[in-house]
Homo-oligomer: A and B are copies of this chain.
Amino acid sequence: MNQMTRIDAALEARMANAIRALAMDAVEAAKSGHPGAPMGMADVATVLFNRFMRVDPADPAWPDRDRFVMSAGHGSMLVYAIHHMLGYDDMGMDQIRAFRQLGSRTAGHPEYGHAKGIEVTTGPLGQGIATAVGMALAERMAHARWPDLAGHHTYVIAGDGCLMEGISHEAIDLAGHLRLGRLIVLWDDNGITIDGATDLSTSTDQKARFAAAGWHVQAVDGHDRDAVAAAIQAAQGDDRPSMIACKTIIGFGAPNKQGGHDVHGAPLGADEIAAARAHLDWPHDPFTLPEDVTAAWAAIAARGAQARADWAARLETSANRAAFLAAQAAPDAQTLRTAIAGHCHQLVADRPKVATRKASEMALGVINAALPQTIGGSADLTGSNLTRTKDMQSIRAGDYAGRYVNYGIREHAMAAVMNGIALHGGFIPYGGTFLAFADYSRPAIRLGALMGVRVIHVMTHDSIGLGEDGPTHQPVEHLASLRAIPNLQVFRPADAVETAEAWEIALTSPTTPSVLALSRQNLPTVRTEDEDANRSRRGAYVLRATPAPRDVTLIATGSEVEIALAAADLLRADRIDAAVVSAPCFELFARQDRAYRQGVLCDAPRIGIEAAIRQGWDLFLRPEDGFVGMTGFGASAPAPALYRHFGITPEAVAELARNLIKGET
């Protein structure tokens, strides 16, 4: 495809050695890092970029660029070396010299957003390959919608670690099933992991394994550049996703250390670096590149710039221009507000008693009609998560026009694929599973929070309220553990109105992923006042006010807001004025100013109510305050029996309130 007609073999070899030199010198200067992978995969990466990749360093956000994912993220110096030589303007030699130092763009692992051209944060193994599946899927979805404007490849360098991790199974299974033919994985088959030879811990025939998942599989000598090029060419020509096993020598070029596990993650040392310079015939000083090599890498960038210009010209005259640009842009906040407000007016009028998972489906009916870029899905719990609205067709192999992904029973890959879809751009992904299985997705949820992507995790069956499935399926610590992740918004709406509000906030948070924790069981509409504002934006607010001064404040989330209201009714009979605060999002409340927070919480005794553990509730509660919730795992029984069994009832709340007011706890 993009293969250049004439390759200067000697020059290309030196282009690869430039990667090796920068990698070993930067690691040496940092006194830490991983020279093994960049040196081992330098030939493969050079061929990939020199003969195939289409990127324009002057426009790193060009939507139709090829994507390159360094799934073996510890080999970050390979990325930085290439980006330096391609001419990304934020990747000067000062950055290479400052590898792994405070404030540099050259972090130990590639960090999305730290420097231009880094497509995804990698390091936790297996995440890169799974995220790339999302990128490759997004490319096919874009192609199905705007065929003249989307047609690029997603390339991945993956190591043994990536392929041992469980998430790789989920990712390759899904990619094979969806026949993502433009995904090409280059496996750094060096036979080495940290502990030693790979045969210490694995005997899997990776080629057979990928073939079993429906992939096109090849094997090459990863230091035979023409063979690598031929394999990539063949991979591009096959309509299945491709895996190319590249047999390499880890730390290639370090004559005394290459091929062993000591070269994986430690500086080579001055003597070995000198030996490598001699061995590679690389007489240049550290951090110094010969001009012809620099020029050759710059030519790749120039080719990319031309491709981008051609694409831009195509865009100008494309019939798809308006739709394409609209999809790339953030959803219009005002349009969404109007749609959600209309929906909420209707809810206040109707006051439905529905589970918040059902309320989510109702909100999605409005949202998916207003925003064509949403892509729904579920990890095989569609009928439980209620993530599919009508007219949402499933995406299938060869037909990517749909808007719904049947992710299969693959929570971890689902989260990573959603990260990839969001990173690719043009789409806003959401996907469903049970809240308890947030644990399966957690590494990818965390990575999404670290990267700051607009991904929405729909997590239903959010407490013991799911009932009979029992403690394995009942989240008790999951709200706390998700609230602990920085830059993640966790919503637990109390009714259909708050559910719609949570969706609105999640969709308009461009750099923060969101979790929506939704009930299995029906809940009454508690937001009965007709209003235009999204009250959930403050994180917590007074749902039921009392004459000042109030006697007690009951603070609850989700399904427990109903209990708080009932407890307030019980207390009213005792002439106790209990205000009820609904707290759908702790993270947003924490960001409010002190005056707002004090106005909501006041000085009276407080009781937190959530069918989960107390950890994290000190945002609202002082040591002398009370909490009604869980202290351990749940149990298997119908939901009402469980609420009674664990003492999460209006009666228990009212009793605790009376005692707190009397000072008797």
Residues of A within 8 A of B (CB): 30, 32-33, 73-74, 100-104, 107-109, 111, 121-125, 160-161, 164-170, 173-174, 176-177, 193-196, 200-206, 208-209, 211-214, 378, 380-384, 394, 397, 406-410, 412-413, 436-437, 439-440, 442-443, 446-447, 450, 467-473, 476-477, 480-481, 483-487, 613, 615-618, 621-623, 631-633, 635-638, 641-642, 645
Contacts and interface: CB of A to CB of B under 8 A. Distances in A.
Contact of A412 (B107, B166, B615): B166
For A30, A74, A213, A214, the residue with the greatest tally of chain B CB atoms inside 10 Å of its CB is A213
A379 to B, nearest CB: 9
Given A195-B380, A635-B107, A201 B408 contact: yes
Given A201-B408, A407-B201, A623-B618, A486 B480 contact: no
A383 B124 contact: no
Contact of A203 (B214, B476, B642): B214
Contact of A636 (B108, B122, B436): B108
Nearest to A630: B486
A166 B440 CA distance: 9
A182 B161 CA distance: 27
Nearest to A206: B212
B469 A123 contact: yes
Nearest to A210: B212
Contacts of A613: 484, 486
How many subunits of this chain does the assembly comprise?
2
Contacts of A412: 166
Given A200-B406, A409-B165, A472 B450 contact: yes
Nearest to A488: B477
22 contacts: A100-B468, A100-B470, A102-B642, A108-B470, A109-B636, A122-B472, A123-B473, A124-B440, A166-B167, A166-B413, A166-B440, A173-B204, A174-B201, A176-B203, A177-B202, A194-B384, A205-B212, A211-B212, A480-B481, A486-B631, A486-B632, A616-B616
Contacts of A122: 472
A315 to B, nearest CB: 34
Contacts of A176: 203-204
B615 A483 contact: yes
Contacts of A123: 469-470, 472-473
A32 B166 CA distance: 31
B166 A472 contact: no
Contacts of A473: 108-109, 123-124
A476 to B, nearest CB: 7
Given A111-B471, A406-B201, A446-B439, A486 B481 contact: no
A487 to B, nearest CB: 7
A382 to B, nearest CB: 5
Contact of A380 (B161, B413, B615): B161
Contact of A170 (B164, B381, B406): B164
